[in-house]
Amino acid sequence: MSDPARMMAMIERGERLESAEEMTPDYREALVHLLTMQADSELAGGYGYVSWIMKAPSVEEKHVVAQIVKDEIRHATVMYGLLADLGFDVERHVAAHDETFRMRIEADADIGTKRITADKRVNIFYYPIDTWADFIFFNFCMDRGAGHQLEDVRQCSYGPWVRAIEGIFKEEKFHIRHGEYWVKKLAEDPATHDEAQRTFEKWYVRTMNIFGRPGSAKNRLYRNYRLKLRDNDEVRQAFATEVAELCEKFGLTVPEWKPKWSELPDEAQIPG
């Protein structure tokens, strides 16, 4: 077990922790929480895409979706590997959860930040992906939101996570480009523009819910340990600004989003 003063001195010097022996219990608890949120989300994301290998509109797209599924499951494997290195019982954790769970809800439902299952996936993975447009706009919004969150990880204080995230980040960029290509295609076609607008509104609101409350106590703790670098709302606004610029080019209207802070747990949700 590390001496707290020694650990914080390392972090403040910009050094990275490399093993559990260098961590205080509080640092390890915070790290395990964040790693588990990402790992569970990656696994749930991969499972949620599987049926779209069969239902994608072309052979080429079936291949792309299969690659995305493979990437997400690989990301989960990497993240669970980091957890196992910290002494976390990965097999027991995964066996206890139904990662395939998807809610049967109204098409425009917004559950805010409610958690329904015991695992730590970001709750956007509860929503079903019922149409090709759902698949595309989930890809466009959620993968982009996750990318903005993972930017902080690239400079965080835990070395193994920093190194692991580089490969994950590159593959997420591929997913984001795929979503962007299809959003442009659907939005600019008069035959699919209205469906694109409706579907975008739904997934944009759901993605805006994932970042967490401004100034939350847990976010302050994560920043103190340099597991995050920015306030939750800074990350959300970076995402919203980028999406607004893209939508202006594509001819889509960004919907109003109103936070449901009374329903929001005192933490940010980390993506897949």
pLDDT tens digits, one per residue of 89-147:
999 999 988 767 776 666 667 766 677 777 888 888 888 899 999 999 999 999 999 99
Q: Is residue 93 part of a domain?
A: yes
Q: Does residue 108 sit within a domain?
A: no
Q: Give me the percent of the chain exceeding a pLDDT of 70.
A: 91
Has residue 8 been placed in a domain? no
For the stretch 170-173, contacts whose Cβ atoms lie closer than 8 Å and that sit 24 or more positions apart, written own/partner, are 171/71, 171/74, 171/75, 172/71, 172/143, 172/146, 172/147, 173/147
Average pLDDT, the chain: 90
Domain that holds residue 148: 24-102+120-263
Question: How many other C-beta atoms can be found within 10 angstroms of the C-beta atom of residue 251?
Answer: 12
14, part of any domain: no
Give 70-103 pLDDT, tens digit per residue: 999 999 999 999 999 999 999 999 998 876 777 6
CATH at residue 214: 1.20.1260.10
pLDDT band at residue 272 under the 50/70/90 scheme? very low
Residue 31 forms part of a structural domain? yes
pLDDT per residue as tens digits for the range 174-186: 999 999 999 999 9
Q: What is the pLDDT of residues 34-75, one digit of tens each?
A: 999 999 999 999 999 999 999 999 999 999 999 999 999 999
Considering its fold, how many domains does the chain have in total? Answer: 1
226 located within any domain? yes
- In tens, the pLDDT along 152-164 reads 999 999 999 999 9
* Mean pLDDT, residues 14-18 taken together: 96
Q: Is residue 236 part of a domain?
A: yes
For residue 10, is it within any domain?
A: no
